[in-house]
Amino acid sequence: MTKEVRKELEKLGNKVLGDIEKTENPNIDIPLRTLSNVIFDKKSGQLTLGNKSAKRYFFNVAHAKKFMQTMMVAGFCNSLLEEKIHTSIRDMYYNLKRTLPQSDENTFDDQAESDPLIVDLEVTIDVLREQLHLTTDRKGIVAGNVVIEDRGDSIDWSKLGSGGWSIPSTVDEIELKKVNAEFVLVVEKNAGFERLHEDKFWQKQKCILVGTGGQPSRGTRLLIQRLNSEHDLPVYVFTDADAYGFYIYSVIKSGSISLAHVSDRISTPEAKFIGLTPSDIFDYNLKKCTIKLKEVDIKRAKELLEYEWFKKNPKWQKEINLMLEKGVKAEIEALSHRGLKFMSEEYLPDKLKNRDFLD
Amino acid sequence: MTKEVRKELEKLGNKVLGDIEKTENPNIDIPLRTLSNVIFDKKSGQLTLGNKSAKRYFFNVAHAKKFMQTMMVAGFCNSLLEEKIHTSIRDMYYNLKRTLPQSDENTFDDQAESDPLIVDLEVTIDVLREQLHLTTDRKGIVAGNVVIEDRGDSIDWSKLGSGGWSIPSTVDEIELKKVNAEFVLVVEKNAGFERLHEDKFWQKQKCILVGTGGQPSRGTRLLIQRLNSEHDLPVYVFTDADAYGFYIYSVIKSGSISLAHVSDRISTPEAKFIGLTPSDIFDYNLKKCTIKLKEVDIKRAKELLEYEWFKKNPKWQKEINLMLEKGVKAEIEALSHRGLKFMSEEYLPDKLKNRDFLD
Q: Write down the pLDDT at residue B220.
A: 95
From B143's Cα to the closest Cα of chain A, the distance in A is 12
Q: Is the dihedral of CA B254, B256, B257, B258 positive or negative?
A: negative
Domains B2-135 and B141-353 are alike in CATH topology: no
Strand spans (E) along chain B: 27-31, 38-41, 46-49, 53-57, 87-88, 134-135, 141-143, 146-150, 153-156, 165-166, 175-179, 183-187, 207-211, 235-238, 272-275, 291-292, 328-329
Measuring CA to CA, which residue among A265, A187, A151, A158 is closest to residue A219? Answer: A265
DSSP A235-266: EEEE--BSHHHHHHHHHHHH--STTGGGHHHH
Give the number of other CB atoms < 10 A from CB of residue A151: 16
Cα separation of A161 and B168, whole Å?
10
Contact status, residue B340 vs residue A85, Cβ threshold 8 Å: yes
* Contacting residues of A for B167, CB less than 8 Å apart: 163
Active site includes A244? no
Pairs of CB atoms within 8 A across A/B: 173
CB contact under 8 A, B99 and A159: no
Q: Write down the pLDDT at residue B34.
A: 87
The answer, yes or no, to whether residue A130 has pLDDT greater than 80, is yes
Q: Which residues contact B93 (CB under 8 A, 6 or more apart)?
A: A333, B108, B111, B114, B115
Query: How large a percentage of chain A has pLDDT more than 70?
Result: 100
From A132's Cα to the closest Cα of chain B, the distance in A is 15
* Contacting residues of B for A157, CB less than 8 Å apart: none
Q: Which of A194, A212, A287, A331 to mutate to test the interface with B (most CBs of B within 10 A)?
A: A194
Cα separation of A138 and B165, whole Å?
12
CB contact under 8 A, A165 and B160: yes
Alpha-carbon dihedral angle through residues B131, B136, B139, B143, given to the nearest 10 degrees:
20
pLDDT tens by residue, A79-105: 999 999 999 999 999 999 988 888 888
Domain A141-353 has CATH 3.30.379.10: no
Q: Which residues contact A147 (CB under 8 A, 6 or more apart)?
A: A154, A155, A156, A157, A177, A178
Residue among B87, B165, B340 whose CB faces A163 most closely = B165
Nearest chain B residue to A92 by CA: give it: B336
Backbone angles phi, psi at A151, to 5 degrees: 45, 45
Mean pLDDT across chain A: 94
Instruction: State the pTM of this model.
Output: 0.90
Of the residues A57, A94, A247, A307, only one is catalytic, namely: A94
Strand order from edge to edge, sheet including A175-179: A153-156, A146-150, A175-179
Average pLDDT over residues A204-224: 95
Q: Write down the pLDDT at residue B163.
A: 74
pLDDT tens by residue, B258-283: 899 999 999 999 999 999 999 999 99
DSSP 8-class letter at B216: P
Give the number of other CB atoms < 10 A from CB of residue A194: 25
Give the number of other CB atoms < 10 A from CB of residue B293: 19
From A334's Cα to the closest Cα of chain B, the distance in A is 6
Measuring CA to CA, which residue among B159, B197, B162 is closest to residue B178? Answer: B159
Residue among A92, A148, A161 whose CB faces B151 most closely = A161
Nearest chain B residue to A341 by CA: give it: B85
Cα separation of A246 and A278, whole Å?
11
Residue among B160, B191, B213 whose CB faces A155 most closely = B160
DSSP 8-class letter at A182: S
Residue among B88, B93, B333 whose CB faces A94 most closely = B333
Q: Write down the pLDDT at residue B69.
A: 97
Q: Which of A99, A162, A287 to mutate to test the interface with B (most CBs of B within 10 A)?
A: A162
Q: Which of A217, A333, A335 to mutate to test the interface with B (most CBs of B within 10 A)?
A: A333
Confidence of residue B172 (pLDDT cuts 50, 70, 90): confident
Residue among A151, A160, A341 whose CB faces B155 most closely = A160
CB contact under 8 A, B191 and A148: no
* Contacting residues of B for A170, CB less than 8 Å apart: 162
pLDDT tens by residue, A12-71: 999 999 999 999 999 999 999 888 999 999 999 999 999 999 999 999 999 999 999 999
CB contact under 8 A, B163 and A150: yes
From A99's Cα to the closest Cα of chain B, the distance in A is 9
Strand order from edge to edge, sheet including B175-179: B153-156, B146-150, B175-179
The answer, yes or no, to whether residue B1 has pLDDT greater than 80, is no
Residue among A97, A137, A195 whose CB faces B288 most closely = A97
CB contact under 8 A, A163 and B164: no
Domain boundaries, chain B: 2-135, 141-353
Q: Write down the pLDDT at residue A136.
A: 80
Cα separation of A317 and A319, whole Å?
6
CB contact under 8 A, A191 and B91: yes
Residue among A93, A168, A340 whose CB faces B85 most closely = A340
Q: Which of A76, A95, A286 to mutate to test the interface with B (most CBs of B within 10 A)?
A: A95
CB contact under 8 A, B148 and A161: yes
CB contact under 8 A, A138 and B198: no
CATH number of B2-135, picked from 3.40.50.1000, 3.30.43.10, 1.10.10.10, 1.20.1530.20: 1.10.10.10
Q: Which residues contact B242 (CB under 8 A, 6 or more apart)?
A: B297, B323, B329, B330, B331
Instruction: Name the more confident of A233 and B2.
Output: A233
Confidence of residue A289 (pLDDT cuts 50, 70, 90): very high
Instruction: Name the more confident of B209 and B257.
Output: B209
CB contact under 8 A, A169 and B334: no
Return left, alpha or beta for B242; rule: phi > 0 is left, psi -120 to 50 is alpha, else beta.
beta
From B327's Cα to the closest Cα of chain A, the distance in A is 18
CB contact under 8 A, B87 and A148: no
pLDDT tens by residue, A156-198: 999 988 878 888 888 988 999 999 999 999 999 988 999 999 9
Average pLDDT over residues A264-293: 95
Query: How large a percentage of chain B has pLDDT more than 90?
Result: 85
DSSP reduced 3-state for A306: helix
From B140's Cα to the closest Cα of chain A, the distance in A is 10
CB contact under 8 A, B94 and A337: yes
- Return the half-sphere exposure (C-beta side, CA atoms, 13 A cut-off) of residue B226: 17
* Contacting residues of A for B83, CB less than 8 Å apart: 340
